[in-house]
């Protein structure tokens, strides 16, 4: 199907986005990589009157490090995330997530800002942002807000962004020597959205798990942090027994939906399998990095 007719405007700067947004109606949408929005237009799932193309706005680009923080511009593509030396070194979970997203053509255009704003419950990057305690930087014409990732995803395809507010950047704490991270997922075909996935970041002291986040995707309306599983593991080495108890604790953490891909019980089973795998992986000495 073809997209319904719409007006197209290209913004030249952050300030220009707000000028154009103010001058157009409520049915205006921002266009970044277009990898979700253009598909939804082609399927006639939405019919905005105007698209404002933000893909050439310089203030939304770039990756920089400083003060123990890595700042990733909203227009950073999935491919750039996977390849950037600072991301690979300082936020290895993000670099590991990138190749799991869709296919190379989509990764070359799709952006982290678009992925977070779209908030697909089966997407990798929202779960990584929650696991990493990222902060979403959001700007309106008059103010800048910094929203912790754990508060950003408010429901199915829903976020804490206000009207005429956009994501300009995402900030990640640089990983420390005590932290290990990994992401695993199960999809029916390579490149498909995950049926179930988990993004894990854990801190160890000697061999003990002292802190961490185990964040599942594809199992709810938004990323789901498995707090009961983390509580079971905290203060203990990651032995086979501790891992089995954490898998059992997922019954408290997860109430996955059923759909045409998998029943609720199947998703629960896959989540337990993935949790066991991801914990065994991070219990090894090495921080998981992309080869
Ligand atoms: C076949 C296919 C398979 C895919 N598989 C996966 C997958 O496995 N995992 C995955 O995570 N994703 C997958 N995607 C989605 C892909 O990652 C998209 O790139 C991403 O979801 C949206 O990014 P975008 O830059 O293309 O955003 P766009 O499509 O341009 O925009 C998406 C939405 O976000 C809004 N938006 C964009 N940027 C901003 C911003 N900075 N601030 C506020 N709002 C903004 C837009 O207005 C729009 O509503 C797939 C897409 C396709 C077509």
20, 30, 99, 121, best to mutate for ligand 1 pocket (most atoms within 8 Å of CB): 30
Give pLDDT, residue 286: 47
Compute the half-sphere exposure of residue 236: CA atoms within 13 Å on the CB side of its CA: 16
Distance between CA atoms of 56 and 75, rounded to whole angstroms?
9
Give pLDDT, residue 288: 45
Phi, psi of 161 (to 5 degrees): -65, 135
- Output the CATH code of domain 180-282: 3.30.390.50
The Å distance, Cα 114 to ligand 1 centre, comes to 4
Give residue limits of the domains in the chain.
7-53, 58-173, 180-282
Calculate mean pLDDT across residues 229-241: 96
Distance between CA atoms of 95 and 289, rounded to whole angstroms?
7
Pocket of ligand 1 (CB under 6 A): 29-37, 39, 74, 101-102, 106, 109-111, 113-115, 117-118, 120, 123-125, 166-167, 193
Nearest atom, ligand 1, residue 29 CA = 47
Give pLDDT, residue 289: 42
Domain 7-53 adopts which CATH fold?
3.30.43
Q: Is the pLDDT of residue 201 over 50?
A: yes
Say which CATH architecture domain 58-173 belongs to. 2-Layer Sandwich (3.30)
The Å distance, Cα 231 to ligand 1 centre, comes to 33
pTM of the complete model: 0.96
Give pLDDT, residue 2: 86
Given a contact cutoff of 8 angstroms between Cβ atoms, the answer to whether 112 and 152 are in contact is: no
- Residues making up the chain, counted from first to last: 291
3-state secondary structure of 154: strand
């Amino acid at each position: 199907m073809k997209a319904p007719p719409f007006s197209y405007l290209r913004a030249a700067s952050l300030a220009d986005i707000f000028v154009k947004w103010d001058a157009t109606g409520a049915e205006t949408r921002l266009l970044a990589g277009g990898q979700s929005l253009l598909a939804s237009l082609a399927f006639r799932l939405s019919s905005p009157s105007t698209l404002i193309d933000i893909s050439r706005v310089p203030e939304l680009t770039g990756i920089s490090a400083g003060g123990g923080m890595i700042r990733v511009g909203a227009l950073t593509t999935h491919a750039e995330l996977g390849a950037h030396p600072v991301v690979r070194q300082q936020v290895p979970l993000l670099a590991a997530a990138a190749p799991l997203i869709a296919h190379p053509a989509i990764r070359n255009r799709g952006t982290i800002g678009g992925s977070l704003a779209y908030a697909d419950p089966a997407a990798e990057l929202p779960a990584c942002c929650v696991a990493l305690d990222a902060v979403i930087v959001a700007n309106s014409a008059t103010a800048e807000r910094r929203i912790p990732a754990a508060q950003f995803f408010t429901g199915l395809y829903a976020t804490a962004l206000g009207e005429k507010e956009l994501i300009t950047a995402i900030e990640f704490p640089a990983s420390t020597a005590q932290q290990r991270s990994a992401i695993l997922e199960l999809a029916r075909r390579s490149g498909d959205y995950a049926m179930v996935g988990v993004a894990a970041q854990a801190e160890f002291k000697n061999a003990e798990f002292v802190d961490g986040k185990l964040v599942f995707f594809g199992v709810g309306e938004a990323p789901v942090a498995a707090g009961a599983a983390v509580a079971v593991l905290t203060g203990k080495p990651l032995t086979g027994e501790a891992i089995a108890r954490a898998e059992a604790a997922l019954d408290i953490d997860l109430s996955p939906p059923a759909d045409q891909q998998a029943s609720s019980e199947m998703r629960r089973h896959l989540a337990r399998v993935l949790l066991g795998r991801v914990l065994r992986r991070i219990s090894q000495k090495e921080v998981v990095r992309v080869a």
